[in-house]
Structure 1
Amino acid sequence: MKGHITLLLVIFIIIFLFFFPKGCEKKFATLKENFSELIYPESQDILKCYQTLYDITKLFDKHKIEYYIDGGTLLGAVRHKGMIPWDDDLDVEVLQKDESKLTSDSFKQSLKKSGYNIHSYRLGYKIYKIGGRSIENYKWKYPFLDIFISKIEDNRTKLVLSNKNNNWDNCHFLKDELYPLKKYKFGKFKVTGPNDPYGYLNKCYGKDWNSVKYQEWNHKDEKRIEKVKSVLTKFDRKPATPMGPIKK
C-alpha cells in the first residue's frame, strides 16, 4: 500500500513539473517583486532633507514666494506624513510669476546666510547645502531640493522647462485641485501643498500609489534605478526617521 502511495506521489510531481513550469515562474517572479530591495538613504541625509525643507520653505514665506509641494514630497506628506523612507530628495513647484524672486540678489543672500546655494538647470532649480556631498559630473550637491517652475494654462498647471521633452505632463494639478493651498504635516513641521492632492497622485503615480512602493532614481549618484513594484506594508507607511531635531 505504501509503495502505491509513493508511486502516485512521484507521478504527481513529474506531471506538475512538466505541465506547470510557467505558472511557477510567474509565482516566483511575483514573490521576488514583493521582496524587492529598496535603497534607503543614510540617517544623516534624511535629517538634512527635513532641515532643508524647513529652512527653504521659511525663506519662501519670508520673500513672499508662493510654493507648493509636489512629486515624492507630496506623496510622502499624504501617505507617510513625512518623507518616504526610501526617498532621497525634495520636490516643490513655484509659479512662473515668482521665478524672478528666486533669482533675486535678496533671496540668494538669504540662502547664503543660511548656508545654501541655488543652481539653475534644464528642469528648474536645485537648492543644496554649500557643504553638501559632491556628485560626480554634476554642479549641485547632495542632498538637494528640486524647484520646478510651472504656470497655470487651460485651467491646469504646466511645467515650464528649458528642455522641450516633458516626461511629467501627467503630473499636473487642475486649478481647483491646487487652490486654495493648505498645510500638510511633514515630520515635525508643516508645509504648503495643494488643496486636493488625489487627482495629481492618481495621474502622476497611477491609481495604485497607496498600495505599492518602488524607486526610479538614486539622487545621491544621479543614476536611474530599475522600477520594480512591490506591496506597500503597514510598516512602510511610517515616515523616514530621524525627523529631528530641527534647528529653528
Structure 2
Amino acid sequence: MRLSRCQCILIFAVLFNAFILCCLVFLQLRLENVNEEDVMVNVKSRKQSPIKVAGHAMSSSISDRVTVVIREFEDFENHIVETVKSILHLYELMRIVIVVDKAPYPPLTLPEDGDINVVSLKTSLDKHPNASCPEQFIDTEFVLFLPDGAILTSPKQVEKVLSAFHSQHRDVHMVAAKVGGEMTSQCFNMDVNLKQWTLTYQQGGTVQDICHGLDGSHIVLMRTGDFRSLSRPYQRPFPQSLFIQTALQRWKVAQVPTSAILAKKLFTDPHNQWKHQTRHDIRLKAMYEEFGIKKVSMSDGRVEWHGCRKETPRCFGTVVDDTPEYLYENRWTPPCCLQALQETGKHVFLILEKCGARYWLEGGSLLGAARHADIIPWDYDIDLGIYKDDIDKCPPLNMLHQGSHTDSGGFVWEKATEGEFYRIQYSAQNHLHVDIWPFHPQNGVMTRGLWTQTHRQDIDFPEHFLVPLRTMKFLGMQVSVPNDVKGFLELKFGKGVIENPQYPQPNRVQI
C-alpha cells in the first residue's frame, strides 16, 4: 500500500514526538540519580570528615555517634519539652529516645520536626513486642543520658564529654558532666555483694575523682554496647540503678568540667515535691527488690533494711534436703534473716541461762561458732542441745505441754510438729527459728532415743563431751558448748570439718 505525502509527514511527526518524550524522561531520571548520588556523597562526606575536638579527631559528627536517652522524669511535672528543644537547637539530626514505663499523662507536646521516639516499656496485647524495646532506636556508638530539665546551650558541652571519654583509664566506662550549679557533686564508691544481698556506700573523694557513682544531676555518656550488656538498663530510679549495675561490673565514672549546663527547676510546689519523693521511694524499694538487695549501708553509718521483718514472712520458703533455695542461686542467707536469727538466738540464750538449764550449741551452729563466732553465712536456723531433765526448769519450755505461746518479745514457743523437739520462732509471721533438741544420758551416752536421720549430726555421742560444759563466744556473747569442740564436730561431721567448709549437700551445690 502506498502512503501519501501527508500520511508520511504525520507518521514522522508522531515518531519524532515520541523520541523527544523518551529523551525528556531519560534526562529526568538521570537528573534524579545525579541528585541522589550528590546526597549520598554529601552524607558520606559528612560522616567521614574528621572534626577536631580538644585534640581528638572524631571520625563522624556528634549526631552520627550519639543517641540521647531521657529516662527519669515525672509525668505530672517535667521540663522534657524544653530539654528536647535545647538538643535539637544544637543538633537538628540528633536522635532522641524518651523511655517511659507507660504512656505519660498528660501527653508530652514534643516538636514534630525532630527524630524523637517515645518508647513505653509497658507491653500491649495489640502491639508487636518490639514496640516496647528502646534498643531498636539506638544504633549509635554512644548513648548520652540527660536528666529532666537539662538545657544544652553549646555544642562544646557534649563535645567536651565525648572527647574526654577517649582519654580516660580503661576502668572508666562512663563520663559525666554536672547539670545545674546549686548543688555540689559527691563522688562515691559502692560494694555490691549479690551473694550476701548487700550494697555498701563508701565516700569517694573530690568531684574530680574517678568513682562508682555521682550524687546530683548529670549528663552521662557511655558506650551503647556497655549499656546494652546490663541486665536492667532502664530500671528506675535512674541513674542510681545504672551506677549500681556498673559498680557490680567494676566500671567507674569520671566527671569532667565543662561550660555550665543549665537546669530548669522542678517541684517547687510542696505537694508536687511530696508526690515526687513518695514515688521515688517506691521506685527505690522496687529496685532493691528487683536487684535482690536486702541491706543498704550508707557512708555515714546508717543502715536501710529492705528484706523481711518481724511482721512479714521470711525471705525463703520451706527448706528441702537441708539446702535452702538461695544456695541454688549462688547466694547466702539474706542479712535480714541472719539478723532475725541473731535476735532470736540471743533471746533464747538469755532465758536458758536464767533458768540454769544445761544446754549447748549443736550442729551447724557450733560449726559457725568454731569458725568465726557467728552463724554460718548460709545457715538458716540455730540448733541447741539440752538435757531433757532440765526442760522443767524453764517455764517457756515447760508450758509447751499446754500448747504454743508467744512471749512478751513476740517470739513464738512451740513443740515441733515433725519430731520430739522444741522450736522458738522469730514471730508468728516470720518463722526463722531456734531448734532445741532434748537429750538424756544412757550408760554414758547422750541419746534422743528416736532419730529422724535427716541431719548428719543426728547420732548418739559420749556424755564426756558435756562434762563439764565450757563457753565460747557466739553472737557477741558467751554461750555453752561441748568441752572438746573440735572432737565433737569431727565425731558428727568427719575430719577437717572446721577447716573445710561445705554446703549441706556438696554433691548438688558447692561453695
TM range (shorter): 0.5 to 0.7
1:48 aligns with one of 340, 343, 354: 340
* Contact 1:38 1:214 (C-alpha < 8 Å) held by counterparts: no
Task: Tell me the alpha carbon deviations over residues 77-117 of structure 1, each in whole angstroms, 9 at most, x when there is no partner.
Answer: 11222111111110001111023345324999996112111
1:89 paired with 2:381, answer: yes
One-letter amino acid of the structure 2 residue matched with residue 104 of structure 1 = N
The corresponding residue for 1:245 is none
* Contact 1:59 1:110 (C-alpha < 8 Å) held by counterparts: no
For residues 59-98 of structure 1, what are the structure 2 equivalents within 5 Å?
59-98=351-390
One-letter amino acid of the structure 1 residue matched with residue 409 of structure 2 = S
| Cα distance between partner residues in 2 of 1:111 and 1:43 | 24
The higher relative CO (CA closer than 8 Å, separation ≥ 6) is in: 1
Q: How many residue pairs were aligned?
A: 179
- Which is greater in Rg? 2
1:127 aligns with one of 424, 444, 447: 424
Unaligned runs of 5+ in 2: 1-327
Q: Name the SS of the counterpart of 2:360 in structure 1.
A: strand
1:214 paired with 2:480, answer: no
CA RMSD of aligned residues (A): 3.0
The answer to which of 66-75 and 110-119 deviates more is 110-119
1:103 paired with 2:397, answer: yes
| Cα distance between partner residues in 2 of 1:74 and 1:88 | 13
* Contact 2:367 2:498 (C-alpha < 8 Å) held by counterparts: no
The percentage of aligned residue pairs carrying the same residue is 22
The corresponding residue for 2:436 is 147
1:200 aligns with one of 481, 488, 503: 488
Unaligned runs of 5+ in 1: 1-35, 134-140, 217-224, 232-248
Task: Tell me the alpha carbon deviations over residues 128-170 of structure 1, each in whole angstroms, 9 at most, x when there is no partner.
Answer: 122443xxxxxxx2x1001111011121211244x67686576
The corresponding residue for 1:159 is 448
Q: Name the SS of the counterpart of 2:433 in structure 1.
A: strand
Q: Name the SS of the counterpart of 1:212 in structure 2.
A: coil
The corresponding residue for 1:115 is 410
The corresponding residue for 2:478 is 190
Q: Name the SS of the counterpart of 2:364 in structure 1.
A: helix
* Contact 2:383 2:434 (C-alpha < 8 Å) held by counterparts: yes
| Cα distance between partner residues in 1 of 2:355 and 2:400 | 8
| Cα distance between partner residues in 2 of 1:188 and 1:154 | 36
The corresponding residue for 2:63 is none
| Cα distance between partner residues in 1 of 2:487 and 2:341 | 26
| Cα distance between partner residues in 1 of 2:454 and 2:448 | 8
One-letter amino acid of the structure 2 residue matched with residue 117 of structure 1 = V
* Contact 1:91 1:147 (C-alpha < 8 Å) held by counterparts: yes
One-letter amino acid of the structure 2 residue matched with residue 211 of structure 1 = E
Distance 1:41 1:166, change over 3 A: closer
Deviation at 1:202, TM superposition (A): 0.9
One-letter amino acid of the structure 2 residue matched with residue 89 of structure 1 = D
| Cα distance between partner residues in 2 of 1:111 and 1:173 | 33
* Contact 2:465 2:484 (C-alpha < 8 Å) held by counterparts: yes
* Contact 2:440 2:446 (C-alpha < 8 Å) held by counterparts: yes
Distance 1:165 1:54, change over 3 A: closer
| Cα distance between partner residues in 1 of 2:453 and 2:364 | 20
Distance 1:153 1:185, change over 3 A: same
| Cα distance between partner residues in 2 of 1:114 and 1:157 | 32
Distance 1:205 1:229, change over 3 A: farther
| Cα distance between partner residues in 2 of 1:53 and 1:74 | 13
| Cα distance between partner residues in 1 of 2:453 and 2:474 | 31
| Cα distance between partner residues in 1 of 2:491 and 2:471 | 22
The answer to which of 93-102 and 76-85 deviates more is 93-102
* Contact 1:212 1:230 (C-alpha < 8 Å) held by counterparts: no
The corresponding residue for 2:178 is none
